[in-house]
Structure 1
């Protein structure tokens, strides 16, 4: 699986699109908002303290912006914080260079189709004479350089860094190591767990090293991504059980002759949910950043939905809500591996499996929010 080509959220604005199934990601943005506000405020105050003024231009990157309403929501919140902080400090608002990044297969048409309305709202709220904002796209993997040296002041990334740059080395095309699974699980061999751990370490170190070149000294990052509660056990249920249930749905299709078992064995998700300890260890090992804060939040699989009752014909179950959310994120990879047209039946079965699971226990994701400061 060539991740850079097949990993993208479902495009457009249809029923299965990411734009219409990203409530969980929206909640994650809300949870990280205080950290973002604090980081930008600290950045601007630091500039004022050291240089006596704020920069004339701020370079801001949102890495893994995807598409839909969440993309410009993040940008709008960042602009609001910059505006309010400069007003409080009685300093002119800098011009903002906003760089929206994702892989080349991302639905940038959807993103830039929303740009005129974004600029219109910005003009109405702030006024042309109060703030200048220039939005552009930078397509490419953030596991490598994307921007010129010292061109950024602030980097934001939400719901992206749990995706690896590739299927862990040694697992691709080797179906004998993790039979019947899509990701690490309690039954996975030790070699599989170790391969995933090493891939995360390599990727996160490359991410940090790349951003260290691009951020100015004192520049800040706020990163939020899926993690887990256990420091020592990557097979912790909180970090991986959504994949366990998807594998069950696929294996039920194997039993019914709809999917080849070998194809299930050969699929390994390019995903890793690290612990806070692992994140701290890699930041300290790479050495370019200081950790300002690391927090962990729980988000229910269905985004905290509360059923309204009534039993209407169009009402969805909690499992169906979860299945639509997961489908919007992973369908591109699933169909690239198993073939087109598998989605409807797979995620119908997945919804049933998830409903059964949610009847037994509360299921949550753990989201890590990490604030980093570029060393001088």
Structure 2
């Protein structure tokens, strides 16, 4: 007990990506995310070069602290960190007052994710930073919805494809007495009560994320955010990702009818995922007041116009949703669920031409200097 409540109710849920390096692992099934990171590599470099102010006393240094929030198991996180480090070096080379420091720069890199993230695989595949001893890496377990670093300790933070995950499914959709009870396994934007419950949870979680970063970043520090949202007015169910979520739900319902799992289990399953509309995302950031929004723009995903194969979709979603499904149903349903999902996709493929498009965004925030 803690403060009169069971300890379990005080802990945030954790649904790590599929670890290891097997055929269903996130390492082997995260090319969609990798393509997104590659698509903003140049934008991120330009943004850091333009907005990192070496002339302020707090950045008159030879050692930088960089954190990737929601790093998962790699290799995408390594690409992000490498780009940030190389850009900082270039910035020092270009800056006359710091030109002599660029050869002696050191970087302390923090890889953050939930405590049950597969950090073993992450560090087994870590690039050999130790060779020249300019980069010192460590893992930092903990939920990014709260602080995981001391105040004023980070110079650059980054997160990609992570903040659409909620700390937990909204309370109302888990309450049988609520109007939002068991409308769906996700927020589809079709049922008002469900939409409001998810929106409320997102605002709470995103607000906590931004507030934690506001405390951790030094004045003038930069926060880079890459992710997916919905254009204003677009409903999740109308996108191909929404269609996929519905198909997974249908498979679970069929499994309950077959006795593979229980109806109660399916009815109580809610994905802790919310893709905000663009204006909602901007509103939460602005409400914090500790950052200036230097860049907030839509960027094109390289695979946006591709007809993704059924195998690609099945493998990607298995790697992403493995943790949350196993936590709720147990590991015994995973193979059956995704076998059924693959067959359903083959029978009734996603019609990408009929689906509305979601939106990939690139955001650069700068911690205000008071």
The bucket for the TM-score relative to the shorter chain is 0.7 to 0.9
Two-structure CA RMSD over aligned residues (Å): 2.7
- In the other structure, the counterpart of 1:228 is 230
CA shift, 1:203, in A, is 0.8
1:366 aligns with 2:359: yes
User: Deviations along 1:132-177, whole A, 9 cap, x unmatched?
Assistant: 2111111000111111111111110011111111111222353974
Matched residues in 1 for 2:167 and 2:115: separation?
14
Instruction: Give deviations 1:44-70, integer Å, cap 9, x for gaps.
Output: 3x122x349742221111000000311
CA 1:20–1:70: 2 relative to 1, 3 Å: same
DSSP-derived class of the 2:332 partner: coil
Partners of 2:239 and 2:358 within 8 A in 1: no
Distance change (3 Å), C-alpha of 1:200 and 1:359: closer
Q: What residue is the counterpart of 1:81 in the other structure?
A: 87
Give SS of 1:368's match. strand
C-alpha distance in structure 2 between counterparts of 1:180 and 1:257, whole Å: 21
CA contact (8 A) 1:17 1:328 kept: yes
Instruction: Note the alpha carbon deviations across 1:83-141, whole angstroms, 9 max, x for none.
Output: 222223234233211111000010000111123x4326xx4xxxx3xx72111111000
Contact in 2 for aligned 1:53/1:91 (Cα 8 Å): no
In 1, Cα distance between the equivalents of 2:17 and 2:286?
32
**Change beyond 3 A, Cα 1:285–1:323:** same
Gaps of 5+ in 1: 307-317
Q: State the secondary structure of the residue aligned to 1:200.
A: helix
Residue from 323, 334, 345 that aligns with 2:325: 334
Matched residue, 1:39: 47
Of the three residues 3, 8, 20, the one matched with 2:28 is 20
Aligned residues: 353
Q: 1:106 to 1:63 in 2, by over 3 A?
A: same
The corresponding residue for 2:176 is: 174
Task: Within 5 Å, give how 1:1-376 maps onto structure 2.
Answer: 4=12, 6-44=14-52, 46-48=53-55, 50-51=56-57, 54-89=60-95, 90-93=99-102, 94-115=105-126, 117-119=127-129, 123=131, 128=132, 132-172=134-174, 174=176, 177-179=180-182, 181-185=184-188, 187-188=190-191, 190-231=192-233, 237=239, 240-299=242-301, 304=306, 318-355=309-346, 356-359=348-351, 361=353, 365-376=358-369
User: 1:301–1:38: structure 2 CA closer, same or farther, 3 Å change rule?
Assistant: closer
Q: Is the 8 A contact 1:208 1:283 kept in 2?
A: yes
TM-score by length of 2: 0.86
Residue of structure 2 equivalent to 1:315: none
Q: Distance in 1 between matches of 2:294 and 2:122?
A: 31
Mapped contact 1:60–1:155 kept (Cα < 8 A): yes
Q: Is the 8 A contact 2:188 2:235 kept in 1?
A: no
Change beyond 3 A, Cα 1:52–1:365: closer
Contact 2:69 2:113 in 1 (8 A): yes
Unaligned runs of 5+ in 2: 1-7
